[in-house]
Structure 1
């Protein structure tokens, strides 16, 4: 297991997360990069050829050495073909030591790169310098981070000298595969923002763009929108030192382009099937900056083809309350293309992007498969059945074939056996389908499972020196789903309306996830759909077996006393509204669980079921009322009253004036002298610990009743002025948090970044899976909700990572330790994410472990 540790940061921690996750040796030292992929402009001797330019290796005469004395004007280079597009973040160099007999090294070098092997570009740092310092001796390795990183396949290292000298080099390259496949984007050039007189001009240009820049248009290159640096909430604050304000963003002013939109084109290495586009946008609306209001993307299957007539359109939900920068996920509907053209519509005076990424899979054209028998000879005919080759060969037509008769007989026997096996599988498929036709289908849609790189266990931090590996990391293995008891491997694929067991040797990762094991493995748990389309609690079946009006222990509130103030969100079966309840304290009487009003109206959350909701949804809504009416804990949201005498059915619950914990923390900084001096909203470490204790206390209460929440997160924790927390269930219905849920087409949504591995793979929801989510919630709290869990992974990669937890081979990726978090608390989080369910702490244990720290 490799744990990457931090070093003295030259920039904010968050800006280095991508680099921390993408710093793996690419294969010079361990031999994954083959000799024929390493070339050079020249070599001194055969024994100092380019194949010997491997870091920490002393084969041949110890390194690559270009021929003769290197002159200051020379351009000798070592070229490496990485075999695929790669996100290159680090370069390591050494000189020639040759077992203490060599003393040649390069003090400086330049870096050229190419994505196609034809067009070469020169790397330069963010200040425009092209020269990198290298070695001071012949034996020590020097590791240099590339700021900005490079997306390329071919790399050239060009040693530089100021006086004639002999040089030799050994190198290693570090990074990870560039799975986006994006090779260029084109856009209008970024513009300048002129602020008040006396203040500097904010330049929002794409300063690291490596394509053509002419007529205020960028084309044919990549730049800041793919460098992995995510801009901050305040676009004037930069991740890098010694750069200008606004450096992290590329921005455009509304109206300056002659239209109300920004048009960008994206070209990819091959035809792909696009699932989504993620755009990181600034939303500092106080300065006239907002996320785009809508986007329309057109598709081109080939570069020489026309744009398809039907675009994919997406309208965003604008947020005028939270100025935080955020990712906007744009669904692309699995459209196939090699190029995209997207038009982003302005919502305010300015629009600013810092990163754009794509989730896609390589297009696979399905073909009808027929049984064939292949020959051992590697020629074009070898893929044809033997009988067909005989018929198409005129030289043997009409002649006896004595020598090939045994071969023909063997082929025919093989074909017959294959047909028998196929018939057997079809019959078995039909049998299993009949047996399981009533089984619930797994809700996970077909996903393509991949990780941005094959790696050992990594806690996402920035390493001082990239890790060394002694051999090639094996590719990710297939995930095998377990049966409900978790004892054996079971893979069930859709077959004629039911399920059948496939050939495990032919199962692809997306097949293994599609229509597999039943989603709910716990037969004694009932799930409620409710307003959000899911449920707040999974509860023992005996508590919701039947329901009449007398089972509801709260009173009927006059509907006309509820005054609508704001729509908090909507779900599959209804809406959640923020309302003022007139006369509610008097209606509830003495001891009502209401906050101090200070003469103001009482704010409540009203969950309203649509009048056209299904009967199942209606019954679930009433059952949820019954359950909620019986919950009584200071850290659980309380049902106050209901309106069920007429449609639409409503339940009225507490609402805290500070909103949810995610929004509250994301708008604050850690308490310091600076925050006090500048009146910046802040929280202290003791505040965060106090919040953690309250959440553990509320979950302890639910666990004591054998209730499973299934969606514990900061978005589902409400907060009042006294920092009292109450656990609720509004998060899923709020558009603000739609990106926190993995949407299953036409069926449901899952908070996969908070879910335990057994919940995703087995559909098993227990108190132990809530403990897992509690660990992620703690991580959110101590990052002040500035980042989404596993923000560097796509949804599909998060699912794949759960498979690594199941396999338990030390390859799973954990969340990195929050900088604000005490080490003992992070150890508690890690216990919550234990692979073995029985080894996770209980909520009682978590509460007892956290409570003593509150007084500190």
Structure 2
């Protein structure tokens, strides 16, 4: 079912709200979850979870589709199996379950494909990702910070694993993890119960550190799954994990953790107002009866229960002016930790903001739960075959029954309201029907245009090296990609399809025929659209888009780089390959003797250096050879500390080679994925770390390199962490090897089986209009910066399929505020995220230049 418009939903909410108040009379009171008994199967094996709620990234065949991934079932071919063999460098396959509502999940079960002895595929290890809203995905980690879960050792046994900490989610993904290429199949089950609190996130100040008898006591929320920067936002953690702290806060239920692990605590020295404010967000408007706060009261260490709490309620958009205030009885005799129950006086709210006042130097909480009455239509579920109703947990309050004398009145009111609702809905739909029809037609036209445009783009991007020139104006531009007209400054909705597409070879001839003077007219826009110069690269990948005037000036020059002896190469590994050649990682001897005086290696004398060697196959055609020579001439002109440098050539015999720098730490994507941010999790797991200041230092270098390219009017067209190399002391140099590597084939949109377009990094106008400019490079830089600050732990828009990413670019085109942006990374400061958003501005002219980006990053250096 398609989502309703905001206008329609606002009207329906105003109608349904009185109904919810009426139905509230028959609601039932719910208590918090009890983890020790919240271990019921949620419906994979029992089939309460429907087939349509089980999906996967791919499938080997119809008989191994996602719906066959049910634990202890042998239907189909016996399990879910992904489309192809999973490789260690490309572990993006997943089996996804939609539970339709939030659940508290404490246990998972896995099984391989046995199929009566025919199958022998299973996942030895796996990871779990989860989401509460379907947009932000979170990687589960255990209490020691480890992501990988031990799985199966054969294809038939069921292996159950406790989730410590448990997760609160609607969507769950099982992701196989392997250390060598292998076939993997899975059957799974989830165990837990419905999350009756309805809490979806809490925002709170960061927990603090206490020094107690020369011992460090960490009172941080170590399992919080939201953003953690200056405070904790949009997540859940230890205050909702179902585990209450011990009387002595230095001790813990959990083995091998630090002192203070069970509690989140604050000192009054950090809060001049005398209170800690925590805001709680819920899944819907609820009628709240009580709040229970588990507090430590070890008064001998100056830790006490809060002196007073003041709670504010928000039911719609505004906070109510009248709060609820509660003061518990102070206890200076019993040091035991305890639950403090706060009456919320049946306030209706979707969010609660509570201010907890200090009664001594420290205040510590380990659990906060809410009890609320909810309407019948919000809590009734289909019966489950687990032996008990799905909403029943030990300790639940009894269900409130409706007085029989009121039944007839209630039914009559319901019937009258339903008739009124039907009439109003019909009127609303009738008024909007023509708008919907027109919008549907418009979308169909845009989809048709997009399909044609992508087909042409894929051929050009994969078959050409795509060295392109910046045109002086919109009128002189000659793109190989289909245009959607009219192309005004504001990119209005297209009024018709353009069926006639430009011929690629003709574009090349037209571009070559332009005079240099035409590229130097006055009034050239800052972001000029790039024309295609038909140069075939070695790997079929992209290098740079180059001004036509530069190509004209280079066309008659000799090779400016000295010949390097082949005998001084030592092959190490193949980095990538393409239609006309390969890229190899080699060691080179005596390279410094063949270099310009303005270039120096950071190696001692007679030491070998790592280089990347682009090699043209001997059977390459004449055009490919000419383009190879042009690529050498262009690369020889690029001299910047943050751009990969051309070091030498081998031209005396086939195969022709060009030699470029290669950094010892490989590409930035793989480098960051092997590291963790600084913090307690990395400390416990002994993982190598990278500080935020070093991340920003690397991002600043990328911006500097792109500033240099843009000053030459060069357009990269494939900027991403996979195309940035890392050297000593976090030195970054921009390269272009990413597209040629099988490791990153999943980063490119495939048409007819060929990886051709890096759509997750491309601006909307590049995908829809074929426009590659400095402005589209700025868009890609924003995505690259997002990758960097997330440690490349997931692909951009990982929750969206390739088709949904393309659909999202259509939302940018229509500009109806439905477009999806990448979320703010956990360790990303607000000014830097604001910079990212400016890079993704719909209007290309309003995006910052690389000069501005470089300046902003320098100004925000920690």
TM-score (norm 1): 0.49
TM-score (norm 2): 0.49
Which protein has the bigger helix share? 2
